[in-house]
Structure 1
Amino acid sequence: MLNILVTGSNGQLGSEIKELARDDGTKIPIPNKFFFTNKNSLDITDLDAIYEFVEQNSIHVIINCAAYTAVDKAEIDESNANAINHLAVRNLALISKEKKIKLIHISTDYVFDGKNYKPYMEDDTTHPQSVYGKTKQNGEKAVREINPKNSIIIRTSWVYSCYGTNFVRTMLRLGKERDSLGVIYDQIGTPTYARDLAKTILEIFPKIDNDIVDIYNYSNEGVLSWYDFAKEIMRMAKLKCKLNPIETKEYPTPALRPHYSLLNKSKIKKDFGIVIPYWKDSLDECLKKMGERK
């Protein structure tokens, strides 16, 4: 049996892992003991605190779901964003290397500048355009430089779930409150249902066997804009709200978003033999779970 530490367990991905870990109806073999922590129960910016927790609980695997994800707020709160997205990640990598712990760290498409013309490969040059993206890039760099054995970085995009604050939940709320809504059509990518990513992490972590930290991309299959995504949410939920496609410049935000953030997932599919669900199928599943599929 393995002892697995999951940080950021109250977030979208952490919550999905937590649910899967206690769901005996899943096909995922989980003869393991999970330790689910949040910022109140374990401060990952404190190296000594992590070390003590790892020692006391004989941790074998760390799944780092903790992140500072307030993209716009990060523009004026760089210190806290850096502490969580970079320095805390460095702490986890240092301890993972020393204690021979397997580390799975979650990163983001925001490490890219969004100016590509084809789906990003894992070895494409990173060039973040926001504080959030830069701090996540620095977290990646720390893991790769420290290089704990049997560890990986997973980049993902447009994450949503039944939990937390995300695009799907926001569209459902606004779709019920408003008659019409403007949604950006010139940012292209693919949503990621956090439950699909959680299942993938639990499926692949026993198979990770590498001497050098590797990077993988993961999102659902398909290509769409935020406008397309919103249209499908409204259709599936049978909401009457009229959606108007708008350009990014019509909805200015403090942080720049990538205009193009498609991720090539061929590497993770090949190396681990996984099948990634199509985005509409996953959205359908999520809305049914939320009781919003009409």
Structure 2
Amino acid sequence: MKSLKFLAMSILVGSMLVFATACSGDEGSTGSEETDNNEQTEDGQLQGEVNIDGSSTVFPIMEAVSEEFAVEYSDVKAPVGVSGSGGGFEKFTVGETDLSNASRPIKDEEKATAEENEIEFTEFKLAFDGLSVVVNKENDWIEQVTVDELKKLWIEDGNAKKWSDINSDWPEEEIKYFSPGTDSGTYDYFDEVILDEEPIVKDATLAEDDNVIVQGVQSDKNAIGYFGYAYYLENKDTLKVVPVVNPDTGEAVEPNNDTIENGEYAPLSRPLFTYVNNASIKDKKQVYEYVKFTLNNAGDLAEEVGYVRLPEEEYTTQLETLEGLK
């Protein structure tokens, strides 16, 4: 009997030890998962993810930031999505992303959605851009364009348009249009300053990917399109940029670093942004370090990919704002 009691006791103790070990293992697993999401590995290396989406125009800057950031923080994953400014804000305002890149300011209705979802955010400027109007390299008739001509070109009027409908000196050939998609901040900006919120020509090819616009204009002598300055610079050997007449001075101005920064390239110069979820700054060290890295390097990297840096004091002021969010 004694031996049976001893055997039963041994089984009970053994079961308790297995249960305790299992519980201990579960607790360790949970701690590891939390570390993977946010903080640091056992050797002190920062790790986790930074969720980023938004503007295709801002994409070249943030892609460069993520590549450089990975050199210093190899255990942090920061891929950059490209769903357009509007598409990015749809995710950002419901808490799906940490950063939302935009080539236009956030709209009132997007702010309202963020407020409904208790998303507090901060806007940071990254660089300047000059929205560039481009035509096919073989186009030898258009040397400059006025704002009024851009309106005639791009606003829907119920007719298929020929170049000669805009300017009698231009050929009687039907125009082919390539534009950013309606989720794009570039489209929104063009809509505001050129279209006056009138409908865009119905036969325009709309694309969230600016490379589609590049290829479309490259492939047709009668094509016209527009996108961010960096995409023109990247393809300047195969595209022709059209100087835009400044409405105030009457001078035709080509987009370049100087004319974009000093505002001569009007009305198509604009700032580029990233919006940051304040909670992500407080709760995720990798997000704070990523944004800090961005502001410290945005000027150099923006110029490397074809945009125009802000005055240095603007980056300094924004770094101080970031510190206040911790």
TM-score if structure 1 supplies the norm length? Answer: 0.32
Higher RCO by CA contacts (8 Å cutoff, separation 6 or greater): 2
TM-score for the superposition, normalised by structure 2: 0.29
